[in-house]
């Protein structure tokens, strides 16, 4: 059997790619061996997990790099068996993979200087160096000659082993059958390549990026072992590193806006359970209790249970998301890291060490967990949750009943919320638990038994909002019977806003409007706050309310401490938007361009930029302080308190 496969072009293709797989693993082991001092505390199990996890990123990079070579071998034409053709594409294979292996090997010695894998920005970083060639030769043949020697040995091995794998022209009786079979195999291989590049087959899986390596590590720094340099370069082609800004002295910037939060030493740490519900696409517009003036006061919305919950909770009537994507919402809510221009988990600094609500509480003895009814790994949440220090992840796999799968995104919200409630009943108190719902998402279906049960409304999403609202009511009915219920703080918000019906929600601030509700069954937290707040404020608000005893890092602020300098931050196509008091200001290239009083001018028609200079100056000062702190701390990996 195996003899009959010898010379088969498809078998040869796989074997040749496996050569590169092997060399990538060798280079990863060398990377770890030469930089072992930078990765303390690694266990044997941890190293094996990293090596196995790294194969996923190697596969993606190898497929990207070799896509031309792969295509050359699988096109359904007999030319692929000609000797000259094979020689030409052998050199394509050697050159492309040699260049990429060189970047892997180069990072073995470059890593100690940057503590990051090389990214695409390196090309612009060194573009103006006049003596780059001289430096390169010095590094290769004098300073790090031993790495160059290892690299040369790897190249010899690649060429030698490649030539040991022959390709033989098959004898076929039917040309039609040959072309049909070859075409079918080409399409199958193309499909497999796309899946390998993306990191999975499911439609709910985003293409893997640097942060996905967090799934295989115990410390964010170890991400650099899991990934490889070609992957790092490919995935950062579209990302731009931040530039440090110095609008103020550091002391002045800290006096205006300081993300290091100091502990409350006046009271003892109140270890209540913390439960966070992030509702998929629940725009504030959809909840009647937040919109008493809409439609002349007749608007009821599509979430009657949340209306009733709002009436016995502390609600924030002027709350905003810090991004427009689910992968921006989760870091904003639990780690107080806003989506600035791009999602944190997809960006250049996704490997930075971070604080999170669950991560810090976990260090104080809390059981910590995250629930998401989608297939495990969807949205890269499992990786981020691991980096955030949350110990337990429960997804579709743990639910283990595909009868409740919606066929598209995950387990229907009603059964999964019940699963969550019952699972929390097994956790030792105190605990932190976070759920991210899935059902209020395109294609906006509800379970068959609920068809026609919820108002269709004016947008397709409205009936799914009604379904999830019903699921929330049933969840709270179940939770209220649990022994931990009265010792729990519930925080409800949305991951982001979405399509709007009313013009008030089609403005630049309406596009970010979400609910924030804090419910305490003991009744200690009630009322309404109309000051502008944001998702990144949830983390510091809860930590302050619990009287957390240690300094910590958060870009947001305590929503319960009413401060006239409190602001909300968003970015729109690279421009900044800041909301403060009754005003919203839009700024481009550090220059304020528009100012509106959104309370009096809900549709943002009257630009006050030249009429309110003092307000513009105040808001611009806060915006610049935020940009300075954000950029500096991202670049310097200072997203934790020392």
The radius of gyration of the chain's CA atoms, rounded to the nearest angstrom, is: 28
Whether the pLDDT of residue 1 is over 50: the answer is no
461 with 305: CB under 8 angstroms?
A: no
Question: Which tokens hold the place of 59?
Answer: 């596969």
Do 302 and 339 reside in the same domain of the chain? yes
Do 270 and 230 reside in the same domain of the chain? no
469 with 252: CB under 8 angstroms?
A: no
Give the CATH number, domain containing residue 457.
3.40.720.10
**Does residue 638 belong to any structural domain of this protein?**
no
DSSP string, 376-441: TTGGGHHHHHHHTT--EEE-HHHH--GGGB-SSSSB-HHHHHHHHHHHHTTSPSSEEEEEE--SSS
Which one has a higher pLDDT value, 270 or 39?
270
For residue 347, what pLDDT band results from cuts at 50, 70 and 90? confident
Tell me the pLDDT tens digit for each residue of 49-103: 999 999 999 999 999 999 999 999 999 888 999 999 999 999 999 999 999 999 9
**Does residue 593 belong to any structural domain of this protein?**
no
**Does residue 606 belong to any structural domain of this protein?**
no
Do 265 and 216 reside in the same domain of the chain? no
Angstrom distance (rounded) from CA 481 to CA 490: 15
Mean confidence (pLDDT) of the chain: 91
Do 174 and 320 reside in the same domain of the chain? no
**Does residue 115 belong to any structural domain of this protein?**
yes
**Does residue 246 belong to any structural domain of this protein?**
no
Tell me the pLDDT tens digit for each residue of 117-146: 888 766 655 554 455 566 566 667 677 889
Do 215 and 293 reside in the same domain of the chain? no
**Does residue 502 belong to any structural domain of this protein?**
yes
> Which of 527, 560, 593 is a domain's end point?
560
395 with 361: CB under 8 angstroms?
A: no
**Does residue 596 belong to any structural domain of this protein?**
no
Which one has a higher pLDDT value, 7 or 502?
502
What is the value of pTM for the model shown? 0.81
Do 266 and 228 reside in the same domain of the chain? no
Give the domain range for residue 356.
260-560
* Predicted local distance difference test score (pLDDT) of residue 633: 95
**Does residue 200 belong to any structural domain of this protein?**
yes
Do 339 and 228 reside in the same domain of the chain? no
Do 124 and 195 reside in the same domain of the chain? yes
CA angle 522, 523, 529 (to 5 degrees): 140
> Which of 560, 583, 603 is a domain's end point?
560
For residue 2, what pLDDT band results from cuts at 50, 70 and 90? very low
Do 324 and 431 reside in the same domain of the chain? yes
Cα atoms found within 13 Å of the Cα of residue 200, Cβ hemisphere only: 15
Alpha-helix runs per DSSP H in 267-380: 304-310, 326-335, 357-363
Do 159 and 290 reside in the same domain of the chain? no
498 with 287: CB under 8 angstroms?
A: no
Percent of the chain with pLDDT over 70: 95
Angstrom distance (rounded) from CA 77 to CA 57: 31
Do 231 and 264 reside in the same domain of the chain? no
> Which of 173, 200, 235 is a domain's end point?
235
Do 377 and 497 reside in the same domain of the chain? yes
Angstrom distance (rounded) from CA 339 to CA 321: 9
How many domains does the chain fold into?
Answer: 2
Q: Count other Cβ atoms within 10 Å, centred on residue 458.
A: 10
Whether the pLDDT of residue 311 is over 50: the answer is yes
Which range has the worst mean pLDDT, 33-47, 106-120, 609-623?
A: 106-120
């Amino acid at each position: 059997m195996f003899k009959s496969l010898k010379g088969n072009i498809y078998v040869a293709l796989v074997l040749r790619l496996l050569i590169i797989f092997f060399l990538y693993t060798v280079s990863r082991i060398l990377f770890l061996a030469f930089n072992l001092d930078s990765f303390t505390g690694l266990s044997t199990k941890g190293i094996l997990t990293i090596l196995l996890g790294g194969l996923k990123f190697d596969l993606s990079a190898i497929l990207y790099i070799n896509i031309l070579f792969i295509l050359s071998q699988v096109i359904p034409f007999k030319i692929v068996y000609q000797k000259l053709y094979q020689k030409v594409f052998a050199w394509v294979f050697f050159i492309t993979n040699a260049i990429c292996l060189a970047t892997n090997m180069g990072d073995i010695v470059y890593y100690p200087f940057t503590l990051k894998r090389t990214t695409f920005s390196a090309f612009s970083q060194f573009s103006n160096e006049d003596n780059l060639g001289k430096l390169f030769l010095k590094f290769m043949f004098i300073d790090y000659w031993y790495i160059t020697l290892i690299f040369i040995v790897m190249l010899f091995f690649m060429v030698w082993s490649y030539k040991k794998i022959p390709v033989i022209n098959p004898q076929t009786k039917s040309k039609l059958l040959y072309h049909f079979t070859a075409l079918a195999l080409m399409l199958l291989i193309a499909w497999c390549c796309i899946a390998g590049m993306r990191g999975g087959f499911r439609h709910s899986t985003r293409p893997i990026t640097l942060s996905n390596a967090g799934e295989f590590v115990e410390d964010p720094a170890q991400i650099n072992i899991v990934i490889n340099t070609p992957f790092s370069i490919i995935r950062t082609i579209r990302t731009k590193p931040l530039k440090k800004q110095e609008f103020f002295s550091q002391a002045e910037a800290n006096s205006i806006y300081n993300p290091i939060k100091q502990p409350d030493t006046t009271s003892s740490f109140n270890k209540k359970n913390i439960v966070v519900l992030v509702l998929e696409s629940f725009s504030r517009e959809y909840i009647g209790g937040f919109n008493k003036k809409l439609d002349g006061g007749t608007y009821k919305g599509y979430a009657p249970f949340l209306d009733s919950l709002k009436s016995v909770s502390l609600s924030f009537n002027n709350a905003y998301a810090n991004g427009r994507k689910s992968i921006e919402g989760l870091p904003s809510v639990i780690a107080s890291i806003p989506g600035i221009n791009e999602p944190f988990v997809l960006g250049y600094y996704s490997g930075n060490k971070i604080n999170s609500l669950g991560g810090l509480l976990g260090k104080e003895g809390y059981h910590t967990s995250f629930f998401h009814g989608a297939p495990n790994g969807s949205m890269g949440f499992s990786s981020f949750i691991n980096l955030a220090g949350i110990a337990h992840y429960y997804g579709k796999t743990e639910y283990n009943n595909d009868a409740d799968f919606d066929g598209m995104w995950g387990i229907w919200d009603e059964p999964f919320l019940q699963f969550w409630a019952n699972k929390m009943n097994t956790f030792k108190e105190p605990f932190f638990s976070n759920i991210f719902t899935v059902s209020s998402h395109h294609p906006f279906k509800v379970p068959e038994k609920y068809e026609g049960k919820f108002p269709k409304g004016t947008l397709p999403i409205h009936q799914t909002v009604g379904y999830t609202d019903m699921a929330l009511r049933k969840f709270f009915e179940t939770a209220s019977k649990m022994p931990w219920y009265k010792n729990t703080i519930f925080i409800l918000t949305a991951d982001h806003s979405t399509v709007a019906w009313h013009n008030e929600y089609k403005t630049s601030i309406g596009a970010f409007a979400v609910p924030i509700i804090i419910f305490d069954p003991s009744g200690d937290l009630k009322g309404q706050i109309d000051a502008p707040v944001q998702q990144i404020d949830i983390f510091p608000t809860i930590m302050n309310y619990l009287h957390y005893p240690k300094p910590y890092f958060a870009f947001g602020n305590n929503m319960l401490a009413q401060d006239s300098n409190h602001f909300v931050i968003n970015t729109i196509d690279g421009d900044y938007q800041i909301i403060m008091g009754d005003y919203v200001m839009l700024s481009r290239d550090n220059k304020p361009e528009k100012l509106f009083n959104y309370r009096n001018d809900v549709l943002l028609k009257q630009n006050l930029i030249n009429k309110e200079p003092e307000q513009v100056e105040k808001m611009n000062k806060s915006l610049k302080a935020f940009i300075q702190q954000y950029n500096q701390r991202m670049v310097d990996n200072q997203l934790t308190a020392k």
